[in-house]
Chain A
Amino acid sequence: MLTKQRSLTGPLGPALIGEMGQWLQALGAEFNFSPEDQYRIDLCGEEIVTNIVKYSDPQYANQPVELRAVIEPQRARLIFIDPAGPFDPFSRPPPAAVTTLENFAIGGQGVHLVREFTDAHRYERRDLRNWVELDFALTQETMRPPASGDMPSDGITNRPDEDQDAVDLACQAQIFQGVRRSAIEGLLEPLAIQDICGETILLKPGDANDSVRLVLRGRLRICLDKPGIGDFIEAGFGACVGEMSVIDERPASAYVVAEAGVRLMIIDAETFLHQVLALPRVSRNLFSIMAERMRRSDELTIKRVRKALQMEQVERELKYAHSIQEGLLPKDSSFSTDARLDSMGRMIPARDVGGDFYDIFFLDTNHVFFVIADVCGKGLPAALFMVRAISILRAQSGFESQSADYAAHLIERLNQQLCAYNDAQQFLTAFCGVLNLETLTLCYVNAGHNPPAVAVGREAFQYLAEPINPFVGMVDGLAYRAGTVMLQPGSVLLLYTDGVTEAEDMEVNMFGDDRLLDRLNAAPSRTARELVDAVFADVRDFVAEAPQSDDITVLAVVCSELTN
């Protein structure tokens, strides 16, 4: 008995209903269905596909649905295979008898029609899929292709065009190059033809594969990574995929994605291994296909390895940059030698390198200078700008250290020099000050930076809000206004960047200014280390699993109780 197999595969979604309808009509044209048979098949096809689309959970959207048609001379069988949760359309009782127009309910009528217009129907849950099989005894014999023994001379046949095309096209495939048509047409004629009506993943790595797919139309993409990411190998007309896993009986090793409009001939493993491979010319073709494929995948592999090595190089360089940047910032021990001063700074960059920095050093025996700054932006560009800024500050810091306007002048010079060479239009915010350890006078400049928290003597922390100046590096020739505050022994100045107050938790809440003040006021003692540790610990607890989005920097300057 001669059997023909056709199938259509497409992503689960409303478009499938129309696609399958059109495909069933083309099927009828190919196999000469009578108008009555076509009507029944169209009707039942639409009802079943509509059911699948309507009742499947949205999580299954776009997963492949397959409609197979098995055509015999006097019978057609349609098999609908969908990936959604178990759903037996025939489990529902037939709709109640219709009595009045008013209480007519449409629910269940579709499946009822399927029951009535098929000769047999079955449902089965198999391989995590729903299989619905419908049988139709045909009223008119399907156009019967010649039995393989008839062997008509090439080109003169009475077979339908569609079918003729499929075998003709297959004969032109690379794998059949140089093979006489008469040697394979009998083999190819009964093979299933699969159409693809929307981009579909046919195979995933690890999937069992039991057939070789020969491309008759359109294009397959073979992807090593998830489709859409990375490179792919193209398999166009005449190419085949799956022969390797059929030969070695191992699962698929790559994604195979079919684009919309693809038509495939499906050579089942049995036919492929025992009949196709038995043709000497085919084995030779297969060797050259595999050699070619290996060469191409080698090229891909080499490209990937090269890219990975380059990434490794970049990462290594970023690590160097990170340690260079760390080396630029003052060490804990280096700026706390004077007993009158207790200080501590720490920066944790968001990436390998950051745009925040702080610095603290003695201008002379009684004057200590400190600065905290935040370069706009992140990563390498910010880090380079930061290095420039810290170098300029250090180079300029030697002048007129006794002057009350020292901090203001220093920021003005920094602004001027950064503006002079700033094609990339970068800028920074900074807070800097000079603390006289004899008088405990603090002269400071705030250039667009977060106001530091200050606690005078044993009083509570509050923000040092005034005066505020523009940020540094964008507008040439600015004059900066300084502020002065008198401190006492035990006074604390806590400087930070917005990485602290704008740290975000998993729900995108901000850490906030109030929380910082609360935390500082709750600190059991006010040593520089304790305060810095407390702020970092609190930010870490607050942020929890959320990714760090900005550099976080804290600098604490404490006038020791020993003073005087």
Chain B
Amino acid sequence: MKVSVDQPKANITRIALEGRLDVAGTQAAETEFNAAVASSLNVIVDLSKVAFVSSVGIRMLVAGAQDRSKAGGKMVLAQPDELTKRILHTTGIEQIVPVYGGLDEALACF
């Protein structure tokens, strides 16, 4: 599981995840991910290179969004693949964490 962070726009942090958000992958990424989330009020989590998400991955993503919301900021998800999108839909995450098909749309929401 790889976590990379950049700033596509002032005051917006993009966290690009790469790999599988299964039990092992989530465990490996969690500390780094949480630190990256806490580094900025506005966060885009780029899922374009995430091949798999299970409920532990969902838990990590929701915890990140809750954390930003408490801090007065916002976290959104971008570019999930079709099956990940289905998982975000099935679990109801898409109702509480904005999900955008493209990065530009995500950037525009802040």
Query: What B residues does A104 contact at CB under 8 A?
Result: 62, 66, 92-93, 96
Cβ contacts under 8 Å, A43 to chain B: 52, 54, 87
Q: Closest CB of chain B to A92's CB: distance in Å?
A: 14
Contact A50-B23, Cβ < 8 Å, known A39-B52, A109-B58, A113-B55:
yes
Say whether B96 contacts A106, CB under 8 Å.
Answer: no
Could you give, for residues 76-93 of chain B, a 1 whenever the CB lies within 8 Å of some chain A CB and a 0 otherwise?
000000110001001111
Contacts of A110 in B (CB 8 A): 54-55
Is B59 close to A, CB under 8 A? yes
In the complex, whether A508 has a CB less than 8 A from a CB of chain B is no
Contacts of B52 in A (CB 8 A): 39, 42-43
Would you call A106 and B55 a contact (CB within 8 A)?
Answer: yes
Choose one: A46, A97, A101; the contact of B23 (CB below 8 Å). A46
Q: Which residues of A contact B12 (CB under 8 A)?
A: none
Give per-residue flags for B37-75: 1 if the beta carbon is below 8 A from chain A beta carbons, else 0. Answer: 000000000000000101110110010011001000000
The CA-CA distance from A101 to B67 in the complex, in Å, is 10
Which residues of chain A from 12 to 37 have a CB within 8 Å of any chain B CB?
17-18, 21, 35-36
Size of A's binding interface in residues, CB under 8 A: 27
Q: How far is the CA of A271 from the CA of B58 in the complex (A)?
A: 46
Whether A101 touches B65, Cβ cut-off 8 Å, given contacts A18-B24, A112-B91, is yes
Residues of A within 8 A of B11 (CB): none
A contact residues around B56 at 8 Å (CB):
50
Binding site of B, secondary structure by majority: helix, strand, loop or mixed? Answer: helix
**Residue A98 lies at the interface, judged by CB distance under 8 Å to chain B:** yes
Residue of B23, B55, B62, B92 ringed by the most chain A CB atoms within 10 A: B55
Interface assignment of B97: CB less than 8 Å from any CB of chain A = yes
Asked if B30 is an interface residue, CB under 8 A from chain A, the answer is no
A489 CB → nearest B CB, Å: 83
| A47: Cβ under 8 A from any B Cβ | yes
Query: Which residues of A in the span 241-283 have a Cβ within 8 Å of any Cβ on B?
Result: none
Tell me if A100 counts as interface (CB < 8 A to partner B): yes
Known interface pairs A112-B90, A113-B87, A113-B90. Does A101 touch B22 (Cβ–Cβ under 8 Å)? no
A99 in contact (CB, < 8 A):
yes
**Of the candidates B91, B95, B96, which one forms a contact with A113 in the assembled complex, judged by CB atoms under 8 Å apart?**
B91
Within 8 A of B (CB), among A393-416: none
In contact, B83 and A106 (Cβ under 8 angstroms): no
| Cβ-defined contact, B92 with A46, below 8 A | no
Contact B22 A46 (CB under 8 A): yes
Contact: B55 with A101, CB < 8 Å? no
**Chain A min CB distance to B83 (Å):** 5
Query: What is the interface size of chain B, counting residues whose CB is below 8 A from a CB of the partner?
Result: 23
- Minimal beta-carbon separation of B52 from chain A (angstroms): 6
- Cβ-based interface call for A88 (8 A): no
A97 to B92, CA, bound (A): 7
- A18 to B90, alpha carbons, bound, how many Å? 24
* Docked complex Cα distance between A100 and B93 (Å): 10
Interchain CB contact under 8 A, A106 and B23: no
Give Cα A104 to B61, complex, Å.
12
Contacting pair B92 A101 (CB below 8 A): no
Chain B's closest residue to A51 (CB) is B55
Nearest CB to that of A35 among chain B residues? B83
Contact A98:B91 (CB < 8 A) given known A18-B24, A46-B22? yes
> Which A residue sits closest to B96, measured CB to CB?
A101
Please determine whether A101 and B66 come into contact, CB atoms closer than 8 angstroms: yes
Name A98's contact: one of B55, B83, B96 (CB within 8 Å): B96
- With a cutoff of 8 Å between Cβ atoms, the chain A residues found around residue B54 in the complex are 42-43, 46-47, 50, 110, 113
Q: Does A57 contact B (CB under 8 A)?
A: no
User: In this assembly, does A116 line the interface, its C-beta being within 8 Å of a C-beta of chain B?
Assistant: yes
Which residue from A35, A42, A109 sits with its C-beta under 8 Å from B55? A109
Q: Which A residues touch B87, using CB under 8 A?
A: 43, 113
Contacts of A36 in B (CB 8 A): 82-83
Q: Is the CB of A42 within 8 A of B62?
A: no
Known: A47-B54, A106-B58. A18 touches B96 (CB 8 A): no
Say if the beta carbon of A102 comes within 8 Å of chain B. Answer: yes
Q: What residues of A have a CB within 8 angstroms of the CB of B96 in the complex? A: 98-101, 104
Closest Cβ neighbor of B68 among chain A residues: A101
The distance from the CB of A130 to the nearest CB of chain B, in whole angstroms, is 19
Q: Mark B90-110, 1 if CB is under 8 A from A, else 0.
A: 111101110000000000000
Closest chain-A Cβ to B84's Cβ sits at a distance in Å of 8
Q: Which residue of A lies closest to B92 (CB)?
A: A98
Given A21-B24, A46-B22, output 16 extra A-B contacts at Cβ < 8 Å: A39-B52, A42-B52, A46-B23, A47-B54, A50-B23, A50-B56, A95-B92, A98-B91, A98-B95, A102-B66, A102-B69, A109-B58, A109-B91, A112-B90, A113-B55, A116-B90
16 contacts across the A-B interface (CB closer than 8 A): A21-B22, A21-B23, A36-B83, A39-B52, A39-B83, A42-B22, A46-B23, A95-B92, A97-B92, A98-B95, A100-B96, A101-B66, A104-B62, A104-B66, A104-B96, A117-B90
Q: Which 8 A-B pairs have the closest CB atoms?
A: A98-B92, A110-B55, A101-B96, A106-B59, A39-B83, A116-B90, A109-B55, A46-B54
